[in-house]
Amino acid sequence: MKNGKVTTFLVDDDEMYLEMLTDKIKLNPRLRLKTFSNGEDCINNLSENPEIVILDYKLNKDNSDAKNGIEILRKIKQAKPNIEVIILSSQEKIEIAVETIKQGAYTYVVKNETAFERLRIVIHNILHKFHLQRSNKLYRKQRVYLVIALVIVLLVNVLNYLFNPDAFKLW
């Protein structure tokens, strides 16, 4: 997260769809967006530590030896397993959706008339998950500090009693 914004990569080789997605996703002020027209560029920029990747399933249709979305998903998860990857596809085949989830995708969204709204909801859910994870870490850290403080108070009282037992007599 940079400047309080979640770094999000958007990968789609269809320029028009990429532009439409960019316009919709930029409406969320909590996201810092970077776009790519191919999966290889996305992989090469993982050092920027994106927290969300929105990835087209079928990439580089014109290049027969280019990697598709599943291969890019595998590489992302291999390099950075904590990145949440949303797969976008015009394919409505359940087998493809199941395979992407098995490979570590957060979810699978079909490119249709409701895709933008579903994508908005999925991103909202991921951001909420990140918030809960950060809150949980903070809670655990505070709990450790509380235990340390209690141990110190107990230790101070024990030492005080050992060196000054008269101070603890009630009458």
Residues 161 and 78 placed together within one structural domain of the fold: no
Q: CATH number of the domain that 98 lies in?
A: 3.40.50.2300
Residue 99 resides in a domain: yes
HSE value, Cβ hemisphere, 13 Å, CA-based, for 81: 2
Rg of the chain in Å (alpha carbons): 25
3-state secondary structure of 75: helix
3-state secondary structure of 96: helix
pTM of this prediction? 0.77
Residue with tokens 């994106």: 50
What pLDDT sits at residue 161? Answer: 83
Residue type at position 110:
V
Residue 31 resides in a domain: yes
Range of the domain at 101: 6-134
Q: Which residues contact 24 (CB under 8 A, 6 or more apart)?
A: 116, 119, 120
pLDDT per residue, tens digit, the chain (171 aa), is: 667 899 999 999 989 999 999 999 999 999 999 999 999 999 999 999 999 999 999 886 655 444 588 999 999 999 999 999 999 998 888 988 999 999 999 999 999 999 999 999 999 999 999 989 888 888 888 888 889 999 999 998 888 888 887 776 665
Residue 111 resides in a domain: yes
Burial group, residue 92, by CB count within 10 angstroms (0-12, 13-18, 19+): exposed
| Number of separate domains in the chain | 2
Residues 155 and 110 placed together within one structural domain of the fold: no
Residues 23 and 90 placed together within one structural domain of the fold: yes
Residues 101 and 157 placed together within one structural domain of the fold: no
What pLDDT sits at residue 49? Answer: 95
